Homo-oligomer: A and B are copies of this chain.
Amino acid sequence: MKTRDRILVTSLELFNLCGEPNVTTIDIANEMDISPGNLYYHFRNKDEIISELFQAFEENMLDVLQSPTDPGLDMMDYWMYVHMIFERMWDYRFLYRDPVTILERNEKLQRKFNRILDKKQDAALSIIQVMEGQSLISISREEAERLSTNIALTATYWLNFQHIRHMGSNSEPDDLEAGVYQVISHIAPYLPPEGRELLDAVADTYLGASSSGG
């Protein structure tokens, strides 16, 4: 593995573990047993490392987000879909730890992050509309807008919320299923009784057997 790539991998690891603002270029170099000078031979500055990591994240995420408007999907498919999104966020969770701190330094990242948010919200809206089209749920246009905003918001901030909630204990929870459930539960009240039971069944399947993010 080339040094340049090792820098990216090590940076991502440390950023996720300690938070990007708490990781210096020297920390990264030390962790890899190379000199800081060497690191700066491969990257002009820390921002370039972050940008490159973000680039990889964006490609991953936009790929996963391709909204499943296929009408043949069931509750379990949606669960898996949201799970995949959570896994990508988990892989790059340093971005969700204090997004404002990271984004405010770099306008390009702001735009990219917002584009991902747009996509998230669009995906939620699409799914809602498919369900509506199937008469699975009944919802007005305005309600659907607000609902998809709430879904995108929960999906975006769940890891941050969990992190703050577990700050006393120094172990970070790597159980994404609770977040998936939390996101999907936004839809629950719109579902008919059969739909809710189906959701409960799917939740029971996944909530016990924590599969973790690795």
A interface residues (Cβ-Cβ under 8 A, vs B): 19, 21-22, 97-101, 103-104, 107, 110-111, 113-114, 117, 139, 143, 146-147, 149-150, 153-154, 156-158, 160-161, 163-165, 167-168, 181-182, 185-186, 188-190
Decide if A117 touches B168 in the complex (CB within 8 Å). no
Chain B residues with CB under 8 Å of A114's CB are 164-165, 167-168
Decide if B99 touches A160 in the complex (CB within 8 Å). yes
Decide if B101 touches A21 in the complex (CB within 8 Å). yes
Chain B residues with CB under 8 Å of A104's CB are 19, 22, 167
The complex places the Cα of A22 from the Cα of B163 at a distance, in Å, of 23
Copies of this chain, complex-wide, total 2
Q: Is the interface of A mostly helix, strand, loop or mixed?
A: helix
A207 to chain B: closest CB distance in Å?
Answer: 11
Q: A110-B168, A150-B186 are in contact. List 19 more A-B contacts (CB 8 A).
A: A21-B21, A97-B100, A98-B99, A100-B160, A100-B163, A100-B164, A104-B167, A107-B167, A107-B168, A114-B164, A114-B165, A117-B164, A143-B185, A143-B188, A147-B185, A153-B157, A153-B158, A153-B182, A189-B189
Among residues of B, the one whose C-beta sits closest to the C-beta of A161 is B153
Decide if A149 touches B100 in the complex (CB within 8 Å). no
Given known A-B contacts A19-B100, A146-B182, A190-B189, A160 and B157 have beta carbons under 8 A apart: yes
Listed A/B pairs (26) with beta-carbon separation below 8 Å: A19-B101, A19-B104, A21-B21, A21-B101, A22-B104, A97-B100, A98-B98, A98-B101, A99-B160, A99-B164, A100-B163, A101-B101, A110-B168, A111-B168, A114-B164, A114-B168, A146-B182, A146-B185, A150-B182, A150-B185, A150-B186, A153-B158, A156-B161, A186-B186, A189-B189, A189-B190
